[in-house]
Structures are given as structure tokens and as C-alpha cells.
Amino acid sequence: MTQARAPRADAVRNRKKILDAAREQISLHGPEAGMDEIAAAAGVAVGTLYRHFPNKTDLVAAVIAEYLDGVAAGAEAAVERVAAGAPALDEITHFLQHVMEASAADRAVKAAALVLSADPADKAPVERAANALTSLIQTGQADGDIHPDVTIDDMYLLFSTAPTDQPASARARWLTLFLSGLTTHGRSAGN
């Protein structure tokens, strides 16, 4: 019974509304999206925004944390499918596509994080994703599909350099090129 049993129903709702509005406004207007504008988009007053997030930096950190949560969930789902017999290389490929598209949607959030040097509020999702990815890589290497010198750091490199602010076709091409560096297969003339 360690609940703080208060009627926090609306407070929770507000927190969600604020995070959604923050992601949206920052994506639309970049890091210079104003706190007032985010609050207005969320349908609350600034004071409420500040009750939930004492800083602009903290707000951005929370948006990032939410995003990382999705990444971690995706990675873990991939691991499970591999455990169920799916080929690791395919799962890695799909996971990377998934992350890339998610990053594209939140591209400006990354920029805001850089400008404000906001760290994710919670390190747990990062670790979860790292564990899952390590597992995928190892399986892929055991299958002989992934180059033996590939490490989790290559994944970070990939996440941090994906062309999130370019058209989907550019991202697809970029992933093709990058993957040929990760796999043992090289590229034939046709792909």
C-alpha cells in the first residue's frame, strides 16, 4: 500500500498533456518554442507547467525520457522475436528503421536537448535498450551475419547520426549504406 492515494487523476492527465504539447511545439518551432506557448498548447497555465517541470531543461529531459522508453520497448520486443526464432539481422534492421522514424518525428527534440544540454531524467530506459541491443548483436554475430567487431557503440553512432531531418527516402538510403558496414555481406550491385 505505498500509494500516495490522492485524486491525482487530473494532475496525471495534465502531465501527459504537457509532455505531448512540448514534443509537438518543439518539433514545430525548434528549441526556441516558448514555455508559454507549450503551456497554451497543452491547455494549462504556465504555472501548472512549472509545477510539473521546474525547468525548461527538465521538461525537455522528460520528453527525451519518454522517447527513450519507446526505443527500449522496441529493442526488447525485437529480442523476444529473436528468442522465438526470428533472424537477428532482420530484427536489427527493423529496429533501426523504427528508431530512425521515431527520431525523425522528434527531430527537433534532439536539437533542443543539445542546446539545453538536457540529460534524460531517468537512465533506466537507456540501460534496457543497451541490454537488448547487445543481445541482438551477439546473436547476429553467432549467426555469422554481423561483423565481429560491431559493438553497441556502433548503434549509438547510428542513432546519433541518422538524418532525421531529411525525407524518408534519404533515411532509407542511409540505412542501406550504414548496414553494409555492420554486416558481413557487403553490397551486391542490386541493393
CB of 50 to a second copy, least distance (A): 13
Q: Which three cell numbers stand for residue 153?
A: 557503440
CB of 66 to DNA, least distance (A): 18
How many Cα neighbours within 13 Å face the side chain of 31? 12
Residue (of 137, 131, 40, 160) closest to 88 by Cα position: 137
Binding site for DNA (CB under 7 A): 6-11, 14, 32, 34-37, 44-48, 50-52, 54-57
3-class SS of residue 146? strand
187 lies in the binding site for a second copy (CB under 8 A): yes
CB of 12 to a second copy, least distance (A): 19
Q: Report what 37 binds from a second copy, DNA, none; CB cut-off 5-8 Å by kind.
A: DNA
For residues 144 and 140, give the distance between their C-alpha atoms in angstroms, rounded to a whole number.
6
Task: Report how far Cα 105 is from the mean position of its chain's Cα atoms.
Answer: 10
Angle between helices 56-83 and 124-142 (to 10 degrees): 30
Q: Report what 178 binds from a second copy, DNA, none; CB cut-off 5-8 Å by kind.
A: a second copy
Interface residue list for a second copy (CB under 8 A): 30-32, 111, 114-115, 147-149, 153-154, 157, 160-163, 165-166, 170, 173-174, 176-182, 184-187, 189
